[in-house]
Amino acid sequence: MSSPSEQTILVTGANGFIGGHVLQQALAKGYNVVAAVRTAKSASKFRPIFSSQESSGQLTWAYVPDITVVPDYASAFSAAEKPITGILHLASPFSLSVEDNKRDLLEPAVHGSLAILQAANKYATPALKRVVITSSFASNLDTTKGSRPGYTYTDADWNPQGWETADMDSSSAYCASKALAEKAAWDFIEEEKPGFDLVSINPPWVFGPHVDGVEDLAKLNQSSAALSQLLDAKAIPPVDFGGFVDARDIAAAHILALEKPEAGGNRFIVGSHFDYQSAADALRKEVPELRERIPEGTPGKLPEVYGMDGSRAERVLGIKYRTLGETMRDAFAEYVKVKPVAA
């Protein structure tokens, strides 16, 4: 395989929490990167951070206004000086308000998953060998089984729910949208047999530090917002999503999935167990000065909830997971800067 400096990769959703870490790591490895975002404003927070790479031509910004529309990708492919060799598709459709599950969640997820593959098939050259998509552990999780104590989810598990969730709660519909989107991607590969293969990365909660720091806890992404609620909480929150991965590790997993030939055609759960009691225990140990601001709960008492097996990602991709303690320490270092004292 040619060296990273001889390759050009397209990264969609490059302005996101994971996207920032992917940019940082891919550029550090020497890849030429076309970073796709919806608007010029979307790129503004990272442009100062990666200004030297942009000036040198290693990083190019491209604008894809609607990731569910195939022609919107044309400029991203034409922005590359050399043919794109790999795609990391981190972007997902979003809606500020979900009024109709089918229209606002399910259909956009499927259309967004298919559009990048259709665009790659249409605009990329034969130099493109692989597309890596960000799916979700929600695509593995069977929400109808509840907390399912004693069961361990693996890469082989699929969320069985689908279009019927249009008439259910938005949480079930969101999880189903991830499964439907991923299944649509695999079906496309099977039916169209393009000149590139596919890898799916399925993270649970993604925690950790932000490449651009944190300025306002009210503006955190969903996963970071869920975690930050531990700060000055009166009690340990119940389990909402029983797994986590560090943002730096999930970024590394995407890049390694592009690099490892044996990863092709596979889906990977990337992450390990998480619950808020364990997070509180880790924080109180790693950051003693925060003990007065983190609820104690019942130290060491784990809730009865399903497990997840992310070991195949370690074996095949070669990633090494950070500990919960390290992730909690680095994430809360940012939160405390914004909120140095209890409200």
For tokens 């695509």, the residue is 139
- Among 15, 50, 13, smallest CA distance to 32 is for 50
Q: What is the DSSP-derived secondary structure letter of residue 260?
A: -
Q: Is 10 in contact with 80 (CB distance < 8 Å)? A: yes
Q: Is 294 in contact with 231 (CB distance < 8 Å)? A: yes
Taking the CA atoms of residue 65, residue 29, residue 78 and residue 258 in that order, the dihedral angle to the nearest 10 degrees is: -80
Burial-class residue 142 by CB neighbours within 10 Å (0-12, 13-18, 19+).
middle
Catalytic residue at 178?
Answer: yes
CA dist 327 and 245 (Å) reads 8
Helix residue spans in the chain (DSSP H): 17-29, 40-43, 51-56, 74-78, 101, 107-123, 170-192, 222-228, 247-259, 276-286, 311-317, 324-338
Edge-to-edge strands of the sheet including 205-207? 205-207, 243-246, 272-273
> How many angstroms separate the Cα of 153 from the Cα of each of 40, 257, 323?
40, 20, 20
Bridge partners (DSSP) of residue 272 are 244
- Which of 178, 219, 285, 301 is an active site residue? 178
Work out the widest C-alpha separation in the chain, in whole angstroms. Answer: 58
CA dist 73 and 235 (Å) reads 46
The catalytic residues are 178
